[in-house]
Amino acid sequence: MDEKIQAPIAVTMGCPAGIGPEILCKLFSEEQMPVAGHAVVIGDQGVLKQAAELVDQPPVIVPWQPGEPIHKGTLPVIQVGQAGDLTVRWGHPNRSTGKAMGRYIEEAVHHIVQGHCSALVTCPIGKKSLREAGYFYPGHTEMLAALTGTAKVRMMMAGPRLKVVLVTIHEPLCRVSQLLSRQEIVECIQTTRHALQRDFAVRHPRIAVAGLNPHAGEASLFGHEEQNIIGPAVAQCAGEGEVTGPWPPDTVFHHAVSGRFDAVVAMYHDQGLIPFKLLHFHDGVNVTLGLPLVRTSVDHGTAYDIAGKNCADPSSLAAALALAKRIVCNRRRMEQESV
């Protein structure tokens, strides 16, 4: 039976000049879209109507306020700013689009805190124009952490066959070794375990921890990080559940995809995301762990080069919406079981 959510999921429109408006119009026009009738868009009606002209079967774009019913076949919008004030050229972000996308995120957090919405799904933003508008964050994750007063967050990439959590994220490869510490890895493992249990309903998570160097260091022949940092972190967490490693990075993802592990903790961005996107380029979801709210996102960027050309694929957005609903329901079920 399809579970219901008590409040709609908020979906931010992302950069108005990117593919966010287009994939929203495509997805909301599909009768079988995830959580049909249970999601609202936080953005600009004018831009969405402009995007609707691109798609073959445009949805009916309607204004929405908390508490109002949501009708299938419509794209309900919480308007931010005055409708019609934002002028957009596809593929050409500027300070105005940066200010708009920053306000969408702020408005979404407000509606979730107030209980008007149950979770957040984000369409892609342009980091350069966000900064030009005065939002000095590297991206969504850091901005959401600041808005919610969260000290530590982690990035999980989740797909049907593979889940990866990163210890370091957007860092130059030459700095990764310096940034690794036993405590950082321990915290990442613990956050991963908690998320698997609460958000994905995995009662006894099996977590593999990747090494940093070829062959996981080959007994320190190719590096000492496994012996001095990663191995001790794994040993510290082993008593709290099934945590193993450090595994050779060139084999651990094969074992995870084969069903041996529920998630892999990777040491740096490309170590985890290259195998992940090889498998889940179209249906992968970015999940922010550690926030007091549920947040999922598409796993792609603004794609300014194809914006306005009616060729953007809404598959990742569909997966992000479906996963957000699943996490909301899993958390509610766990709360009910603990009473």
Q: Each residue of 18-57: pLDDT tens digit?
A: 999 999 999 998 766 766 678 999 999 999 999 999 998 8
Tens digits of per-residue pLDDT, 158-188?
Answer: 999 999 999 998 899 999 999 999 999 999 9
Residue with tokens 């179209």: 282
For the chain, give the mean pLDDT. Answer: 93
- Mean pLDDT, range 81-97, rounded to an integer: 90
The answer to whether the 1-150+291-339 and 154-281 domains have the same CATH topology is yes
- Quick one: residue 201, left, alpha or beta (phi over 0 = left, psi -120 to 50 = alpha)? left
Contact, 314 vs 34, CB < 8 A?
no
CATH code assigned to 1-150+291-339? 3.40.718.10
Percentage of the chain modeled with pLDDT above 90: 81
Q: Is the entire prediction scored with pTM above 0.75?
A: yes
CATH class of 154-281: alpha beta
Q: What is the pLDDT of residue 26?
A: 93
Tens digits of per-residue pLDDT, 240-289?
Answer: 889 999 999 999 999 999 999 999 999 999 999 999 999 999 899 999 99
Strand blocks (E) in the chain: 9-12, 39-43, 60-63, 74-79, 119-122, 154-158, 163-166, 206-210, 242-247, 263-266, 285-289, 295-298
Spatial CA neighbour of 128 closest among 158, 160, 79, 95: 95
User: Residue 1 above 60 pLDDT?
Assistant: no
Amino acid letter, residue 103: R
Domain extents in the chain:
1-150+291-339, 154-281
User: Residue 334 above 90 pLDDT?
Assistant: no
- Mean pLDDT, range 93-107, rounded to an integer: 96
SS3 content of the chain, % helix, strand, coil (to 5): 40, 15, 40
Contact, 158 vs 287, CB < 8 A?
yes
